[in-house]
Amino acid sequence: MPEYIPFNRIFKDAEERKALADALDGDCWHGDGPAGKRVESYLGEWLGSPHVFLTTSCTHALEMAMLVLDIGEGDEVIMPSFTFVSTANAVRMRGARPVFADIRDSDLTMDPEDVARKITPSTRAVIPVHYAGVSADFDGLRKAVDGRDIAIVEDAAQAVGAYWNDRALGTVGDIGCFSFHDTKNITCGEGGAFLTGDAGLAEKAEWVREKGTNRSAFLRGEIDKYTWVSQGSSYIPSDLLASLLEAQLRKKERILEARAGVWHAYRDRLASAADKGWIRLPEIPPYARTNYHIFHFHVRDLSDRDPLLNRFREAGIGASFHYVPLHNAPYAQKILGAQPPLPRTEELAGTLIRLPLFPDLEIVKEVVADRVLAVLTDYFTGKRGD
């Protein structure tokens, strides 16, 4: 049995160990300490964002977004059904209604034409998800919202260091939300960030993040007491985690380069399987520069996906599906009632396979890509076992 290749492995070395040890030896374990501040200004400079707030997760950054936009009962927020539950929960937690739009065959991002069809007078925001680190279609989305007072909140959980034209994802919409979970390209275990270019939203974000108080202004010496100024919660990560994130950010080029190497090895090796019609490879639109967060492909037939996932597992390859669509999930049915079908979402989610992708695979990328091709060849040349 060849060595098992997990779906993901954290890229780490002595730098993270040292950063954490130094932070542990220091006197600041709470949040918004020196490491947190350094990381926020580093991210702001790198990505071109005037207001960056580290958060405890992307889930929490999305919750903050709904709070600062004052989204509540009677409001609707449009998002893909093909996303992680946090996108919908953030809306639901405000008592607002998630409205699910379909996605596109080419890149699995939200279909602007379906967004346009789903806009009503109650629509307050749209949340595009940059699936796999590939930008949503901002031109299309802006056309869909067409001058209405509808905020664009980017769920950029997977998209740190990816771009729409020359603009970093997370900085293109009104608000951007990042994840630094350990499944992401850059990680501190659990973490995230909230970004905005709007000073008014930034002020509210500062309150919301600090339990609904103006304590941050107090700590800067701008006021002599802090008090309760808005709804809020505890969204500030410890400086221990910020120190870890700082060490990871220092190797972001190395991480990106290695991921790109693995991604291209898969792409090159699997081109023949796509030519034979066994699988379909997704496209990257010309305005998008990916951060190589995910490598995925589609099988042609829904019935092939699960048996193939088993074959990959048997061959020691930790391949995985992605997202059970939210519009058909039990909780959506319970709170929203029966949902209209989303044909593209249902087919694309049912045929998707993700392959292992992490920097340490770089040195064995050809071997792994060959092993993947061998599994596909066995399966599609009649050894399906059926």
Ligand X SMILES: Cc1ncc(COP(=O)(O)O)c(C=O)c1O
Which residues are at the interface with ligand X (CB under 6 A)?
57-59, 83-84, 86-87, 129, 155, 157-158, 179, 181, 183, 192
User: Cβ of residue 163: shortest distance to ligand X, in angstroms?
Assistant: 17
Q: Smaller CB distance to ligand X: residue 90 or 375?
A: 90
User: Cβ of residue 138: shortest distance to ligand X, in angstroms?
Assistant: 17
Q: Please count the helices (runs of H) and the strands (runs of E) in the chain.
A: 14, 13
Q: For residues 348 and 106, what is the distance between their CA atoms, to the nearest angstrom?
A: 10
User: Cβ of residue 294: shortest distance to ligand X, in angstroms?
Assistant: 9
Q: For residues 208 and 335, what is the distance between their CA atoms, to the nearest angstrom?
A: 27
Q: Smaller CB distance to ligand X: residue 57 or 216?
A: 57
User: Cβ of residue 223: shortest distance to ligand X, in angstroms?
Assistant: 32
Q: For residues 104 and 113, what is the distance between their CA atoms, to the nearest angstrom?
A: 10
Q: Smaller CB distance to ligand X: residue 183 or 328?
A: 183
Residues in the chain: 386
* β-sheet with 279-280: strand ranges across: 279-280, 295-299, 352-355
Asked whether the beta carbons of 133 and 292 are under 8 A apart, the reply is yes
Q: For residues 94 and 189, what is the distance between their CA atoms, to the nearest angstrom?
A: 27
Q: Smaller CB distance to ligand X: residue 182 or 198?
A: 182
User: Cβ of residue 186: shortest distance to ligand X, in angstroms?
Assistant: 12
User: Cβ of residue 54: shortest distance to ligand X, in angstroms?
Assistant: 12
User: Cβ of residue 57: shortest distance to ligand X, in angstroms?
Assistant: 3
User: Cβ of residue 154: shortest distance to ligand X, in angstroms?
Assistant: 10
Q: For residues 277 and 353, what is the distance between their CA atoms, to the nearest angstrom?
A: 15
- Backbone φ/ψ region at 93: left (φ over 0), alpha (ψ -120 to 50), beta: alpha
Q: Smaller CB distance to ligand X: residue 183 or 320?
A: 183
Q: Smaller CB distance to ligand X: residue 79 or 369?
A: 79
**24: Cβ contacts below 8 Å, ≥ 6 apart:** 240
Q: For residues 18 and 184, what is the distance between their CA atoms, to the nearest angstrom?
A: 21
Q: For residues 345 and 103, what is the distance between their CA atoms, to the nearest angstrom?
A: 6
> What's the half-sphere exposure (Cβ side, CA atoms, 13 Å) at 60?
22
Q: Smaller CB distance to ligand X: residue 155 or 206?
A: 155
Q: Smaller CB distance to ligand X: residue 93 or 374?
A: 93
Q: Smaller CB distance to ligand X: residue 77 or 157?
A: 157
Where does residue 148 rank: exposed (0-12), middle (13-18), buried (19+ CB within 10 A)?
Answer: exposed
Q: For residues 263 and 153, what is the distance between their CA atoms, to the nearest angstrom?
A: 28
Q: For residues 31 and 268, what is the distance between their CA atoms, to the nearest angstrom?
A: 44
User: Cβ of residue 102: shortest distance to ligand X, in angstroms?
Assistant: 16
Q: DSSP assignment, residue 298?
A: E
Q: Smaller CB distance to ligand X: residue 151 or 376?
A: 151
User: Cβ of residue 90: shortest distance to ligand X, in angstroms?
Assistant: 9
The dihedral through the CA atoms of 107, 112, 118, 123 has a sign that is positive
